[in-house]
Structure 1
Amino acid sequence: MSSKTSAARLGLVDPETASPSVKQALAKLPAVNGLRAMANAESLYPAYIDFLLLLFRPLEIDPALERMIALRVATLQECLYIWRNNVVVARSVGMTEEQISVLERGDTVAKSFSPAQQAAFAFTDEVVFRVEATDATYDRAKQYFSDRALTEILFVIGNYMLVARVIRTGRVPLDEKPTPFPQQGA
């Protein structure tokens, strides 16, 4: 994953001077650069933050798998910003250093991943690159995941694809250090 440094395109909203609704939304999570850039969409940002917070509440998919999917999307979208911040969360929800390391190398079939996790990665890859999973990949994922879980996976994929586009197109700078986000259930 490259960390190209170039001039930022999107400004970073200052929580102190933001409109009341954006200021309130910015206070719900750490004011990292990515969220401050997304706050430029004043009409959408407060509702987006409410949605994002739902991803930190218990889902049918377990928190470690959710982070694995976020990290996989970060890798596929070549978004160091997402990778860096989600590694912090991944460690806090039980991902091992070995899993993080092999996922960073792009190895989604390593022995450190269960067959269900491997199926989730294949599903993620096809959704990212093809928009829809093939029947074979969908059927494989369906062996491990309910309709609810597959839909949650799609929400996670879509969220991080959106974030990657804002970060990369807006050339949002990395924060000085990664900031831990709330764990699921928080």
Structure 2
Amino acid sequence: MARIPYVDLATAPERTLQALEGKRSINIFRLIAQSDNAAPEVLALGHKLSRESSLPPVQREVVILRVAQLSQATYQAHEHHAVALRHGFTEEKITAVAEYPAAGSAEHLTDFERDLIEFTDSVVETTTAPDDLFARISAVYNHSEVVELVLMIGFYMMVGRVMNTFEVDLETGPVEVFRTASA
């Protein structure tokens, strides 16, 4: 059970309700919605970095799954496991992202995916990436995409910490979509 209750839609501010409109009614959104001040902006950034990312979906999910692993964010790993499968990941590839550089994991990943994992590890663990690794990422991504990559790593670190700190519950059963009375 989460450490604080999820948002009560009957008493949530209108701007929070608008930010939730059309999103899946999952517990992480319902918990973030408790922040009257920041919820709309955090939800919008999450949408931009996930649904509207300029990074290819498979590469994006490699990064998110790796951040979940490093952050020990079980909820995030669970949610993005399903997303990764929808984008063509195999169970072996999902395991490889989590376990890299363990023996046998590299065979399920491209060279660039391994670079993305190492870049993510560096940013999470030391707040930066070494020059040679930065150069390898920059050889594939333009400046805008490199910035988005670092923003994505930071965003999912933040959300993973919210999930862990508040002990957000995994969903059980079907998930509805938020609909307000004005919709």
Fold shared per TM-score above 0.5? yes
Equivalent residue for 2:107? 111
Cα drift, residue 142 of structure 1 = 2.0
Question: What is the aligned-residue identity percentage?
Answer: 29
User: Do the aligned residues in 2 keep the contact of 1:84 with 1:178 (CA within 8 Å)?
Assistant: no
For residue 94 of structure 1, the aligned residue among 88, 91, 95 is 88
User: Do the aligned residues in 2 keep the contact of 1:72 with 1:121 (CA within 8 Å)?
Assistant: yes
Q: Does 1:156 align with 2:152?
A: yes
User: Do the aligned residues in 2 keep the contact of 1:87 with 1:100 (CA within 8 Å)?
Assistant: yes
User: 1:4-30 CA deviation, whole Å, 9 max, x = no partner?
Assistant: xxx532321122332211122122311
User: Do the aligned residues in 2 keep the contact of 1:85 with 1:178 (CA within 8 Å)?
Assistant: no
Unaligned runs of 5+ in 2: 178-183
User: Do the aligned residues in 2 keep the contact of 1:9 with 1:171 (CA within 8 Å)?
Assistant: yes
Structure number with greater Rg is 2
> Structure 1: which 4+ aligned runs deviate by more than 4 Å?
177-181
For residue 173 of structure 1, the aligned residue among 160, 169, 173 is 169
How many residues get paired?
175
Two-structure CA RMSD over aligned residues (Å): 2.2
Please give the residue correspondences for 1:47-126 in structure 2 after superposition, counting only pairs within 5 Å: 47-107=41-101, 110-126=106-122
TM (norm. structure 1) is: 0.84
Which amino acid counterpart does residue 64 of structure 1 have in structure 2? Answer: V
Q: Per the alignment, do residues 153 and 31 of structure 1 end up closer, same or farther by CA in structure 2, a change over 3 Å counting?
A: same
Unaligned runs of 5+ in 1: 1-6, 182-186
Cα drift, residue 71 of structure 1 = 0.4
SS of match in other structure, 1:102: helix
TM (norm. structure 2) is: 0.85
Question: Which piece of structure 1 moves more, 103-112 or 118-127?
Answer: 103-112
Which amino acid counterpart does residue 16 of structure 2 have in structure 1? Answer: V
